[in-house]
Amino acid sequence: MRMFSRRGISCALILLALATILIWPPKVRLNTRAFATAVCACCTDEGEWYQSTGRTDFFQLERVRFAPAAKTYEPPSSDGELASNYVLSHTRAGQRRWQLRFRDEQGKTATLSFALPANTVSFGADMHDDSDGGLGPLLYKEWRLSGPAQVTGDFRRVLKGATRFHLILQGRGRGCTEAEDFKHWTLKLSGAGNSFTFYGSLNKPE
């Protein structure tokens, strides 16, 4: 557990701890120590890096809101099979079932449906471009979700066979991860011998 020995702990917490030792009664000292421990559970360290797989945080994902603009990533070898820009809408069926609906400038539509997986890959890294701020650097973060998907409409035209989705939420934050940390998303759809990538931004969580 991250406590007073962490490099990222703020000077304010150190001073508070010293003041507690010197002038406050033992019972109050215990409460202050617990407070400092809770705050520093979200601290980060310079050079921190992690990648782990854990249970999906369905509560935080339920708060995620997609902005209505989506773009298609087109590598140099792309032959323009899909539109470059889409209007995106997002609906849910229960806690785990998501549907993303894409509509291009010509009015063609496509839908992607999938169930959120039970486990999510979490990634975080110090990019060495942020001041400490007393609680450690802001990490670059990703939540990576993947699994089988169902596509309809224009996507079915270009994606043959079984389809898989890889959705990556991207942002910055410290040790405690919430929906507010994520500002952008990338989505890769893979079919038999073909794949397409989309990207966009996220609105403020609800």
Q: What is the mean pLDDT of each run of 10 residues along the chain (206 residues)?
A: 39 42 44 52 92 98 98 83 96 94 97 98 94 85 98 93 97 96 98 92 97
Placement of tokens 């407070």 in the chain? 35
Do residues 166 and 99 both lie within one domain? yes
Q: What is the pLDDT of residue 205?
A: 97
Is there a contact between 122 and 54 (Cβ–Cβ < 8 Å)?
A: yes
Reported in sequence order, the residue ranges of 42-138 that DSSP labels E, i.e. its strands, are 49-55, 65-73, 85-93, 97-104, 109-115, 119-126
Instruction: Give residue 33's pLDDT.
Output: 46
Q: Is residue 100 part of a domain?
A: yes
5 domain residue, yes or no: no
The pLDDT value given to residue 39? 58
What is the number of structural domains in the chain? 2
The answer to whether residue 55 is domain-embedded is: yes
Do 17 and 53 fall within a single domain?
no
> Are residues 116 and 32 part of one domain?
no
Whether 24 and 103 map to the same domain: the answer is: no
Same domain, 124 and 199: yes
Rounded to whole angstroms, the Cα distance separating 143 from 145 reads 7
Same domain, 25 and 105: no
Cα 115 from Cα 99, distance rounded (Å): 9
Asked if residue 89 and residue 21 are part of one domain, the reply reads no
Global model pTM greater than 0.85:
no
Going by C-alpha positions, the residue among 194, 189, 201, 180 that lies closest to residue 70 is 201
Per-residue confidence (pLDDT) for residue 30, from 0 to 100:
42
Domain that holds residue 79: 49-203
Q: What is the DSSP string of 96-113?
A: TEEEEEEEETTS-EEEEE
* Within-domain flag for 174: yes
In a domain, 130, yes or no: yes
Asked, for residue 131, whether it belongs to a domain, the answer is yes
82 part of a folded domain: yes
Q: Alpha-carbon torsion 182, 183, 188, 189, what sign?
A: positive
